[in-house]
């Protein structure tokens, strides 16, 4: 599975001093302890969101580890490495995950990462413009 690297608003791969989890939590007013479950829900395929309550807790362990790892990324290369590890993890290849897609979508998670870093980049550009105007 080939995935595109998330980019900043300029179309260039992002790089930040803050992690994705720090930015996401700040943007959405979340406590850091709520990050993994909140992002997990958002990144699951739609039908998996509904069915997750019927699944054993352990069936989403690979997804939780993936979201946790993505939460620590600061640059596009780190994100790409997390996706590669997720896709290549043998524990992530079960009938429920591969056939029924009862798992996190790397594409959905990439979109969340991209949107979070782009939003922060836009805010930073606006603050810079406002400071220059004063």
Predicted confidence (pLDDT) per residue in 70-114, tens digit = 999 998 899 999 999 999 999 889 998 999 999 999 999 999 999
| pLDDT given at position 55 | 83
Task: Please give the pLDDT value at position 132.
Answer: 53
| CA 50, chain centre distance (Å) | 20
What would the pLDDT profile of 26-79 be if each residue is shown by its tens digit?
999 999 999 999 999 999 999 999 988 888 878 899 999 999 999 999 988 999
- Asked if 102 and 55 count as a contact pair (C-beta separation under 8 A), the reply is yes
Position 86 in a domain:
yes
The whole-model pTM stands at: 0.79
Contacts 24+ apart (CB under 8 A), 28-31: none
Integer Cα distance of 84 and 81 in angstroms: 5
78: in domain: yes
14 part of a folded domain: no
CB 100 within 8 A of CB 3: no
User: Do the domain assignments include residue 54?
Assistant: yes
How much is the pLDDT for 23? 94
pLDDT of 108-133, one tens digit each?
A: 999 999 999 887 665 555 455 555 55
| pLDDT tens for each residue of 8-21 | 444 556 677 899 99
Q: How many CA atoms lie within 13 A of 62 on its CB side?
A: 21
Residue 1 lies in a domain: no
Residue-number span of the structural domain to which 112 is assigned:
20-133
Q: Identify the pLDDT of residue 9.
A: 43
**DSSP notation for 25-87:** HHHHT--GGGHHHHHHHHHB-HHHHHHGGGS-GGGGHHHHHHHHHHHT--BHHHHHHHHHHHH
Are the beta carbons of 106 and 86 closer than 8 angstroms? Answer: yes
pLDDT at 27: 93
Q: What domain count does the chain have?
A: 1
> Would 84 be classed as within a structural domain?
yes
Domain-located, residue 10: no
Which tokens sit at 25? 């939590």
């Amino acid at each position: 599975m080939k995935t595109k690297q998330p980019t900043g608003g300029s179309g260039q791969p992002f790089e930040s001093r803050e992690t994705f989890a720090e930015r996401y939590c700040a943007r959405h007013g979340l406590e850091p302890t709520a990050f993994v479950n909140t992002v997990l829900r958002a990144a699951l395929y739609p039908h998996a969101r509904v069915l997750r309550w019927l699944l054993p807790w352990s069936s989403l362990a690979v997804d939780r580890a993936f979201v946790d790892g993505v939460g620590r990324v600061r640059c596009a290369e780190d994100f790409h490495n997390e996706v590669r590890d997720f896709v290549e993890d043998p524990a992530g290849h079960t009938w429920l995950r591969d056939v029924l897609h009862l798992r996190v979508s790397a594409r959905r998670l990439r979109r969340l990462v991209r949107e979070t870093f782009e939003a922060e980049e836009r805010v930073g550009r606006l603050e810079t413009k406002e400071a220059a105007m004063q």
